Amino acid sequence: MDNFIVSARKYRPATFHSVVGQQHITNTLKNAIKNNQLAQAFLFCGPRGVGKTTCARILAKAINCHSLTADFEACGSCDSCNSFQNGNSFSIHELDAASNNSVDDIRSLIEQVRIPPQTGKYKIYIIDEVHMLSQSAFNAFLKTLEEPPSYAIFILATTEKHKILPTILSRCQIFDFNRIKVNDIANHLEDIAQREGVHCDRDGLHLISQKADGGLRDALSMFDQIVSFSNKNVTYKAVIDNLNILDYDYYFKVTDALLAEDIAITLLTFDEILTNGFDGNHFIIGLASHFRNLLVCKDEVTLKLLEVSEGIRQKYQQQSQHTSVSFLLSALSINNQCDLNYRTSKNQRLQVELSLIKMCHISAAFNLSVSKPISLENLGEATLESPKKTNNNEKKNAKPFVNSASTIPEKDKSTTVSEAVKVNLPQQTTADTDSNDGKYLSEAVLLKPIEIITEEQVPIISKPFNLKAGAVATLIPNLNDLSFNASKLKELKPDYISGSSQQNFGIDMLKKRWNTYADKKKEEGKINLFTLMTSNPPLLLDNFIIEVGIENKIQENQLADEKIDLLNFLRVELQNFSIDIATKLIEQPQKKRLYTSTEKFQHMVEKNPKLEEFRQKFNLSIEY
């Protein structure tokens, strides 16, 4: 039996033309050879399995080839090409920097560079995983890399360019390798399958390509594994069974159930997925990708972003016609939140199930029965309005209502409004009502849900956030009405009582009335105000000015808030309407702070001199 060679080695590209998915780099290298503009050092960087080392070998072979083809490819038959392919070339050297990363290894390399090539025009050094070199090795390599002999060319390859010293990067021509596209990998696998006599379907090859995540070597390894698993029959079913991939059909089935608002089918499908051994996070990530693909299918311009086979593409296009953009965006938002919370959740299965249930109700939130649309401008006008002029009897039975933009049709009286929260305000007189164009504030209605019974009575909020029968909406107040209510409330605040009496009174009578008011506030629970009024007794100045001592800004604000009621009380009780209140800041004496132990002890001695006698008697010292 012949020795098996893995596909990654057997079908490794030997020419620039056979390199998969890196045409921007291979064309540049071929033009450099054509124009004889070869740099002294190249740096190939990119993710694993995209062809960095392969391109380095192809470039090294082409540079020293004795008879290049018309397309500037290595001939593969000259002495230089044969020696390189057999691994005994004296002009092309490969160094694995992962295992040869010391200063001594680089010094040995520098010594070899001094020897001219025995065959060929150039001496080429391929250093793989160059980022693994130590700091000292990099420094030792700098001078040779900057000024190598005319016959020396260095080709460096790495997967982590950020770990290489900037001084090294500045001395190299840098080539960034891209992740290989899914279609390119699938086409390459299909070509290998034909050569090997393996039966395969396009859907299965696309799944392998997606799982490889842009790495051709990974794709070839999986391909060999599935060929052995399926006995040279690479089908879609064989791929999903062997690579632990969730079938597309699960996602299509879950999406159909979500659109149909069928919670039972959705949860049963998720249970089946868990039973098959898949992780909940694996499912939620795949579902997000499925919603993304459906969103991509909504526009022909973005359809090229869908990297699936033609059969799966048709399924996506068909399902996308039955899904709205609003549903997909909302589902993606819920899905993303579930993904963020999954790892920290104590009950991970419940986390996914709750998200699926929320997605089932998205259609109900966007596709609701409507009677007439309302614009976003009218949305803000669902406010607190008062009825027009009414007599006193009508006022008592008046109910708060909203304006016509969001009111329930009056022709149907079966609408039920949930109980509103009311704030009782001081009643106004008829004159006050008339002076304000019929608006009165005997009752201010706060935001409260409105429960709708029939579809004909549904107030329409805005598209697409429409409400259906039985839904609950919240009224949003109009800013103009809020400003009117605020100004009206300001007008209703108590004002100073006016009068002409200026009867004289003494300090004793003032203190008596002052303490009476303070006791009243204490009963009302205003302890801070009571403390303010009793701790600093008032002083009676000229022109009936009452001076009150305050200790800080807080007390001043408390007294200012209470000033109207306090003055009204004193003016009525003392029969003097010229009384006014003034405040005076009481400066508190600053206490000397005691820092050292000596200062603290001296302060204690001042209070109790016997402490000094006690210290001297026992010959005690003060600790510092």
Query: How confident is the model over 370-419, as pLDDT tens digits?
Result: 334 444 444 444 333 434 444 444 444 444 434 433 343 444 433 333 33
Q: What is the pLDDT of residue 430?
A: 39
Average pLDDT over residues 198-203: 86
**More confident: 487 or 513:** 513
Percent of the chain with pLDDT over 70: 78
427: Cβ contacts below 8 Å, ≥ 6 apart: 442
Query: How confident is the model over 484-509, as pLDDT tens digits?
Result: 455 554 455 566 777 778 888 888 88
Nearest to 497 by CA among 579, 581, 582, 583: 579
Q: What is the pLDDT of residue 37?
A: 87
Query: How confident is the model over 120-132, as pLDDT tens digits?
Result: 788 899 999 899 9
User: Quick one: 53 exposed, middle or buried, by C-beta within 10 A (0-12, 13-18, 19+)?
Assistant: middle
pTM of the model: 0.54
How far apart CA 308 and CA 86 sit, in angstroms, is 40
CA separation (Å) from 434 to 374, 384, 393?
A: 32, 19, 15
CA separation (Å) from 252 to 89, 221, 259, 521?
A: 56, 29, 11, 70
User: Would you say 110 and 76 are in contact if contact means Cβ atoms under 8 Å apart?
Assistant: no
- Evaluate if residue 79 carries a pLDDT over 70: yes
User: Would you say 13 and 20 are in contact if contact means Cβ atoms under 8 Å apart?
Assistant: yes
How far apart CA 139 and CA 136 sit, in angstroms, is 5
Least confident of 11-15, 32-36, 166-170, 456-460: 456-460
Give me the residue label for tokens 């108590």: 494
Q: What is the pLDDT of residue 588?
A: 63
Q: Are strands 539-540 and 123-128 parallel, antiparallel or unpaired?
A: unpaired
Least confident of 131-135, 486-490, 515-519, 575-579: 486-490
- Evaluate if residue 427 carries a pLDDT over 80: no
Average pLDDT over residues 582-599: 74
* Mean pLDDT of the residues in the chain: 77
Name the β-bridge partners of 581.
546
How far apart CA 212 and CA 221 sit, in angstroms, is 9
**More confident: 461 or 612:** 612
- Helix (H) or strand (E) segment spanning residue 233: strand 233-234
The verdict on whether omega for the bond into residue 117 sits within 30 degrees of 0, i.e. cis, is no
User: Would you say 416 and 453 are in contact if contact means Cβ atoms under 8 Å apart?
Assistant: yes
How far apart CA 364 and CA 204 sit, in angstroms, is 37
Average pLDDT over residues 174-186: 89
Query: How confident is the model over 216-256, as pLDDT tens digits?
Result: 888 899 998 888 888 888 888 888 888 878 888 889 999 99
- Evaluate if residue 622 carries a pLDDT over 60: yes
Percent of the chain with pLDDT over 90: 12
- Evaluate if residue 42 carries a pLDDT over 90: yes
Q: How confident is the model at residue 290 (pLDDT cuts 50, 70, 90)?
A: very high
Average pLDDT over residues 312-339: 89
- Evaluate if residue 461 carries a pLDDT over 80: no
- Evaluate if residue 174 carries a pLDDT over 50: yes
How far apart CA 396 and CA 419 sit, in angstroms, is 17
How far apart CA 274 and CA 356 sit, in angstroms, is 14
Q: What is the pLDDT of residue 255?
A: 92
Give me the residue label for tokens 């209605």: 445
- Evaluate if residue 341 carries a pLDDT over 70: yes
Give me the residue label for tokens 């001297």: 616
Q: What is the pLDDT of residue 81?
A: 85
User: Structural domains in the chain?
Assistant: 7-176 (3.40.50.300), 182-242 (1.10.8.60), 248-366 (1.20.272.10), 376-491 (no CATH), 507-585 (3.30.300)
**More confident: 76 or 124:** 124
Torsional sign, CA 254, 258, 261, 267: positive
Range picked from 267-271, 482-486, 517-521 for highest mean pLDDT: 267-271
Q: Which residues of 589-606 are buried (b: 16+ CB within 10 A; e: fewer)?
A: eeeeeeeeeeeebeeeee
Range picked from 189-203, 479-493, 545-559 for highest mean pLDDT: 189-203
Q: What is the pLDDT of residue 70?
A: 85
